[in-house]
Amino acid sequence: MLFQTGRSVRGSRFAAPLLAIVLAWPLAACDTVSSLNPFSKDEPYKPEIVPTVAAELLYNQGLALIESRDFEGASKKFSDLDRQYPFSSWSKRALIMQTYANYTSRNYDETISSGKRYLGLYPASEDAAYAAYMVANAYYNQIPDISRDQERSEKALVAMREVVERWPKSDYAADAKFKLQVIRDQLAGREMEVARYYLNKRNYTAAINRFRVVVANFQTTNQIEEALARLTEAYLALGIVNEAQTAAAVLGHNFPDGQWYKDTYKLLQSRGMEPRENTDSWISKAFKSVGLG
């Protein structure tokens, strides 16, 4: 029935070879699958077995790589240990050492990642303070100059503050306190740079807003004297005399021998004024809130 009468001789001639090919295909296919199937062969299938390396051996290999100053290799070795023996005591040791290896090789993003993971898993560990300190230093070592975005500086500030507040008696608290001050100086410097730009453009309101950030948040930095002096200048330019006098008075009270106060005092005198503090001013309140002024 497949080849009905009435079809052309040409159609019948090509149909038979086609049928032969179709009938032969399953055999060829079976032969191909058989050749690929390892279980159909005479020899039994033997899966490859990768020998397991003991956790202690992996850990010691990592330490040896650190000793030879191959910190990247050590980090990988500790990562392998952590992956093969997750949540074990060896994994805990490996994770803090991986963080150390990453930090020493200046791979700061990986330091932050592994350090934060350690803190997440073992927040009460005796090495938690060290992990937090390495994370903070990883941010700190990436602080850019004040002309650039200060996102890393802000993260370093938060991380260093955590070390000081959570582990005040640790071996790292003193250095973290010192670096906190450096970071605050950096952030204040950034605000001052922008504020000076607005002041030079005579956009006094925008300049005051930036100087205000320094006075409100960074009173203990090396930028505070100039910020108060510049506030006096900007407020005078806007005719806001009470605030100008208050900024000068607070400046003189806290830094009476500084050059910024001497220049500010002369500026007020040239306008027939003297420093006079208004205790209701935000400037006065800002300093009293932190025990200054």
- What confidence tens digit (pLDDT) does each residue in 149-183 have? 999 999 999 999 999 999 999 999 999 999 999 99
Over 70: is that where the pLDDT of 139 sits?
Answer: yes
pLDDT average, residue stretch 18-44: 43
Say whether 136 sits in a helix, a strand or coil.
helix
Average pLDDT for the chain = 86
Return the pLDDT at 3.
35
Over 60: is that where the pLDDT of 48 sits?
Answer: no
Q: Quickly state the pLDDT bin for 36 (edges 50, 70, 90).
A: very low
pLDDT average, residue stretch 24-33: 41
- The closest alpha carbon to 232, from 217, 41, 255, 27, belongs to 255
Higher pLDDT: 211 or 37? It is 211
CA dihedral 226, 165, 159, 73 (to 10 degrees): 140
Return the pLDDT at 215.
96
Q: What is the pLDDT of residues 226-247, one digit of tens each?
A: 999 999 999 999 999 999 999 9
Lowest model confidence (mean pLDDT) among 23-37, 57-71, 197-211: 23-37
User: Is residue 267 classed exposed, middle or buried when 0-12, 13-18 and 19+ CB atoms within 10 A define those classes?
Assistant: middle
pLDDT average, residue stretch 8-22: 39
Higher pLDDT: 287 or 143? It is 143
Return the pLDDT at 42.
56
Higher pLDDT: 19 or 274? It is 274
| Domains of the chain (ranges, CATH numbers) | 54-123 (1.25.40.10), 186-288 (1.25.40.10)
pLDDT average, residue stretch 26-35: 42
- The closest alpha carbon to 268, from 219, 230, 232, 221, belongs to 232
pLDDT average, residue stretch 45-49: 51
Q: What are the respective helix, strand and coil percentages of the chain, to the nearest 5? A: 70, 0, 30
Return the pLDDT at 216.
94
Q: Got the DSSP string for 174-230? A: HHHHHHHHHHHHHHHHHHHHHHHHHHHTT-HHHHHHHHHHHHHH-TTSTTHHHHHHH
Return the pLDDT at 122.
96
pLDDT average, residue stretch 136-153: 93
Q: What is the pLDDT of residues 84-103, one digit of tens each?
A: 999 899 999 999 999 999 99
Return the pLDDT at 13.
40
